[in-house]
Structure 1
């Protein structure tokens, strides 16, 4: 009998299945991580710019940059793609899901300016909406990454959503009419004010520098002179900077009391590049219907009342109307202040 101790028998170990690789560990695997720290944001920007190039069609077409499929869904998709690429690196915070897509969509607007497919006015107006929708897309994708196992499929869905929507959504934006009214007391008699609003020349940029519209790229006014055409009709001849010129055809003419006009544009009224195509007066998306001055004697002077009526035709009229109200209200106040300064001095 051997004195050599024997080892207790051992039970065979059951083979274990290897743990499924987690996409959130990709940051430790360089072969699966072709992205740098800021690359998700830059890739999101490139994706958004490519969408902008895809939506470069003629005004009112389904591939115009003003259709709802682009305005609402392109930044949503940009934000989602940004977060998806970032999540392939590592788990991100909820704050990241918001600020990174906001930055990516802001860079889309800047990139569109750099490649000369967007004007400054449109860029400034659309930036807040784009960043908000980009944040919404990023938060949605972040939720998908945390709650599901199919973030890649969701990313593909977000990527094609703007293009698919452009193909199926009906064309034709609803028209919305709005107006802005402002008044200002001028220490001058109505006769002086009447003469001034019908003949004002050599307007200097410093005289209208408070206007937000002029600060973001709308050409400033140079002169407005009323003439009488053959047949007796009165017409205000308007000249702005950058070669913009058009007629204001008088519809109501009550000397010293009331003046109302509609607008008449010729083929060369707005030279190329003078105004962004998407906000050009008389265009598919924005127009001025009519404008009126009313003069009322008050406290030894004259209260000058200005009313501006306009039309919007976009797939985002509620948002566009907020901007129209803000810019036209500021414009009206600037014009009234111009007349006040000029006419009180002459009086």
Structure 2
């Protein structure tokens, strides 16, 4: 690679990376939160598109002509942005894993756009300048649109070969959970706290149940419906001020501005041959302008938590 080619490559990668970091810093200023926010369609979808367009547009024409280059090359500044924001603690690991698929797809689409603009003989500088300024124009407009909270249901179940009373004891109160019993692979990968135990002061409506997780996360649960050995419904409340700031990224903290768990329900159904089916479902709320995407992740996370608990309850009911 000659010096000119190296210089062009560094520019094509460096400028989009710096642009992304500067925009992240700008969108993270608390006093400007009413105009610019990271948790917006503008930032999560528009930013990587522009990064991709810049990467290809600033590249050598010989490279920019290749479709494969237009699709893959924009991933380099995205991953550099990933590393820089993690190193500077601007974003957490969980947030990045959730938004990375969006960033990569949007960056590739932007790369195709950048290649198209580079191939055309028109005032491309004006087009690129407009793209670069687009987030600063769109974000204030998006902030004027009220986000509509969406309520979602996460449903899971498991079949257990044990008597109903034995299962129910493990449902109402969950004894200490060693780390070896934890099978919550998604939540573990995202760095979410793992379940430790659940305490219940008595069986019945109005009872207080406390679900304790690692790193200071506690679900405060109030039983609103109770049928012994059959059904238990409870409201769930997590208090963000109780959760240490190092436990969860501010954008995914439970009970925060964007994500909250509302209620949970256990139902025990009798099946043939002494088998019981234990149902567990929960309702949670998302409050973003991109609930269509955030809601999917919310379901996956809640189902992972619930399946983890159900497996523990099954293993204990069948062995204890």
**Is the contact between residue 293 and residue 305 of structure 1 (CA under 8 Å) also seen in structure 2?**
yes
Distance 2:161 2:18 in 1: 56
| Larger fraction in helix | 2
Mark the runs of 5 or more structure 1 residues left unpaired by the alignment: 1-26
**Is the contact between residue 184 and residue 307 of structure 2 (CA under 8 Å) also seen in structure 1?**
no
Alignment partner, residue 48 of structure 1: 20
Q: For each residue in 1:3-23, what CA deviation from the matched residue of structure 2 results, as whole angstroms up to 9, or x when unmatched?
A: xxxxxxxxxxxxxxxxxxxxx
SS in 2 for 1:224: strand
- Give the 3 Å change call, closer, same or farther, for CA 197–232 of structure 1 in structure 2: closer
Distance 2:69 2:158 in 1: 48
Q: For each residue in 1:205-258, what CA deviation from the matched residue of structure 2 results, as whole angstroms up to 9, or x when unmatched?
A: 2212343112211110111111149x9721111211112223111111112110
**Is the contact between residue 37 and residue 139 of structure 2 (CA under 8 Å) also seen in structure 1?**
no
SS in 1 for 2:279: strand
Q: For each residue in 1:291-310, what CA deviation from the matched residue of structure 2 results, as whole angstroms up to 9, or x when unmatched?
A: 10001222313211011111
Distance 1:36 1:267 in 2: 47
- Give the 3 Å change call, closer, same or farther, for CA 87–314 of structure 1 in structure 2: farther
2:316 is aligned with 1:327: no
Return the offset for 1:61: 3.3
SS in 1 for 2:74: helix
**Is the contact between residue 236 and residue 250 of structure 1 (CA under 8 Å) also seen in structure 2?**
yes
SS in 1 for 2:209: strand
**Is the contact between residue 55 and residue 74 of structure 2 (CA under 8 Å) also seen in structure 1?**
yes
Q: How does 1:8-23 map to 2 (within 5 A)?
A: none
- Give the 3 Å change call, closer, same or farther, for CA 130–45 of structure 1 in structure 2: same
SS in 1 for 2:212: strand
Alignment partner, residue 223 of structure 1: 197
Alignment partner, residue 185 of structure 1: 159
Alignment partner, residue 318 of structure 1: 292
SS in 1 for 2:196: strand
Distance 2:241 2:162 in 1: 37
Q: How does 1:10-89 map to 2 (within 5 A)?
A: 30=4, 35-58=7-30, 61-87=34-60
Distance 2:182 2:241 in 1: 25
2:230 pairs, out of 257, 263, 269, with 257
Distance 1:95 1:343 in 2: 54
**Is the contact between residue 64 and residue 115 of structure 2 (CA under 8 Å) also seen in structure 1?**
no
Mark the runs of 5 or more structure 2 residues left unpaired by the alignment: none
Report how many aligned residue pairs link the two structures: 317
Aligned residues: CA RMSD? 2.5
**Is the contact between residue 60 and residue 171 of structure 1 (CA under 8 Å) also seen in structure 2?**
no
Alignment partner, residue 10 of structure 1: none
Return the offset for 1:89: 8.5
Higher Rg of the two aligned structures? 1
Segment drifting more, 287-296 vs 232-241 = 232-241
Distance 2:33 2:55 in 1: 30
- Give the 3 Å change call, closer, same or farther, for CA 247–60 of structure 1 in structure 2: farther
- Give the 3 Å change call, closer, same or farther, for CA 281–306 of structure 1 in structure 2: same
**Is the contact between residue 103 and residue 131 of structure 1 (CA under 8 Å) also seen in structure 2?**
no
Segment drifting more, 100-109 vs 292-301 = 100-109
Distance 1:326 1:267 in 2: 21
